[in-house]
Structure 1
């Protein structure tokens, strides 16, 4: 149970009803950071709220309420927050409190079709807020977050990716990945054929890249992160050589692909094949892939 003191009159306590078997996930970008229980779309969210008065204290208020809120925050502009839904339940009307009060609250079948996301420039969060409304002083507020994850639908069509890349009279390679849509714990399987090699290749790697796009049109901002660099070849290849590719995705901080969430942001993923020559020049080819969630918590 979480609590926080507000002045000397009272403290607020807010907790979630969760069974021991419910999975949890980190709220932010730090894997060692605070964790919260995972809920799916359509699941009820319930818990307990309490206003704890100190002995001999009185609390005048204009009402006590609990809200369930879905919110998008632009992290570069904290004033630019957007509540895409909000449900309110009144716990107590205006009046005075002379002793502590405790309530059970519940938001049944609440709409949670967008997943929790914490990126470079944008955050989508779901939280419950307990508020004591006051007239002549700032409101007393306590919040608690949940994580929302939703299982995706397995793709009916999942085509292989085949592409050629080259530098005229110097390098010609052909690469192939077994599919274009992957779940978050999947394995990228493929191969790279060297059809022509006239430059001295030092090594080859396969990167997973995440691109976060915030805003719309001319105001859109794009940020790119390289989540992993996986070496698939060390040393110079020869003509007609075929290099196998096998990259396990389970060890990386991946989310599903998000397309134009609430007209606020999108998240895309790419496989980036990189060759580095002996002069450290880099030759690369990017290919977008689609990621989906096969199971909750992964």
Structure 2
């Protein structure tokens, strides 16, 4: 509110370039709601415009400078008000002076390093935002913030499965009561991946009621005596109902893409917090006793697939060879197939020797006529020669 003329006399609006066409991502707030923000990656430019609108046209706005800043901050909930800043860039948009009309300022932050992924957890929050400030002398500064989301991309090539992404295999159990062997195909999964595995029962002397597989997120904040651990069950998936027998094998197939709450694994982010994930296998017997085994996995974010131009060209050439009567048309980087008009189809000259005439017909019609002739022509019977049949008819 504007008390005695000392309130904000102008509105600020931060417009990012290509914000209408750029990808967006949802980020959870502290109260559990999800808000959509523009998505950026590490090393991308931050460019846009700052619009300053005077509330009273024709009035004068005196200021001591206009600037815009980029921030990357970590806030621990047990230490409210203290922000740990790991990224801060500033640009001066206008020097001290007076504004008499609406103004627009361009800003650019080239190749901004964004080392961590945006995250909101139970005890910590990591956020990126732009802050525009109009510094004033006798009144409160006019401030406008615009938050955006950052995703970090990783890669674990399939040819390195033997070293970097080996399978998980382990035998666990209780002596003379329960002995099981579980196996998961990988130890590192991207957020749209599928967990494939199996549970093999080597010894069963306990009456099992059901078995479930879960994913636990463990968030660790602080250090030393101020360390806080928060566990959250993200996934709980029942994979067996009933008592198993010795030698039985239970398959596992869990699709991670169905759970939006999953984030990437974060280890020692700016020495402030960590986020780890564990596969939790739980067996419950008829007396409500629970047997469980946890195994840590790594979750990572995979970039969108982009088809290489060379591969696209090879595929187009292959399709053209398979169907020469189809013309390839490309637009916006995608291949489109449209039939060739009859005028473009190559023609073949067919000469009729008996009549001394030449007929010009499309290749497709010629092929159809040849096939029709082959079907209509009589086939000789087995054991009878054509020449003998003609002689018998003449006699």
Indicate the TM-score class for this superposition, using the shorter chain for normalisation: over 0.9
- Confirm whether residue 40 of structure 1 aligns to residue 48 of structure 2: no
Candidates 85, 90, 97, aligned match of 2:87: 85
CA distance in 1, matches of 2:304, 2:271: 25
SS of aligned partner of 1:76:
helix
CA distance in 2, matches of 1:19, 1:74: 30
Q: After TM superposition, list the pairs within 5 Å mapping 1:84-233 onto structure 2.
A: 84-154=86-156, 156=160, 157-233=164-240
Q: Is the deviation greater in 26-35 or in 205-214?
A: 26-35
CA distance in 2, matches of 1:242, 1:181: 23
8 A contact 1:14–1:48 mirrored in 2: yes
1:12-54 CA-to-partner distances (Å, cap 9, x unmatched) read 1112112544221112258862211111111101111122112
CA distance in 1, matches of 2:262, 2:303: 13
CA distance in 2, matches of 1:37, 1:11: 21
SS of aligned partner of 2:51:
strand
1:84-113 CA-to-partner distances (Å, cap 9, x unmatched) read 111111111122222221111111101112
CA distance in 2, matches of 1:289, 1:263: 21
Candidates 265, 276, 279, aligned match of 1:268: 276
Shift of 1:296: 5.5
Structure having the higher helix fraction is: 2
CA distance in 1, matches of 2:226, 2:274: 14
Shift of 1:136: 2.8
CA distance in 2, matches of 1:163, 1:45: 47
Structure having the higher strand fraction is: 1
1:154-213 CA-to-partner distances (Å, cap 9, x unmatched) read 153211111122122221111111111111111111111111112211110000111111
TM-score, normalised relative to structure 2: 0.71
Number of residues of Structure 1 aligned to a counterpart in Structure 2: 292
Say what the alpha-carbon RMSD is for the aligned residues.
1.9
SS of aligned partner of 2:225:
helix
CA distance in 1, matches of 2:22, 2:285: 49
Unaligned 5+ segments in structure 1 are 1-5
Shift of 1:114: 1.1
**Residues 257/201 of structure 1: CA separation in 2 closer, same or farther (3 Å cut):** same
Which structure has the larger Rg over C-alpha atoms? 2
TM-score, normalised relative to structure 1: 0.92
Q: After TM superposition, list the pairs within 5 Å mapping 1:252-267 onto structure 2.
A: 252=259, 253-267=261-275
Shift of 1:119: 1.2
Partner of 1:285: 293
Partner of 1:69: 71
8 A contact 2:195–2:253 mirrored in 1: yes
CA distance in 1, matches of 2:87, 2:302: 26
- Confirm whether residue 294 of structure 1 aligns to residue 296 of structure 2: no
1:204-236 CA-to-partner distances (Å, cap 9, x unmatched) read 000011111111233221111110100000111
**Residues 34/75 of structure 1: CA separation in 2 closer, same or farther (3 Å cut):** same
Larger RCO: 1 or 2 (CA < 8 Å, sep 6+): 1
Shift of 1:264: 0.8
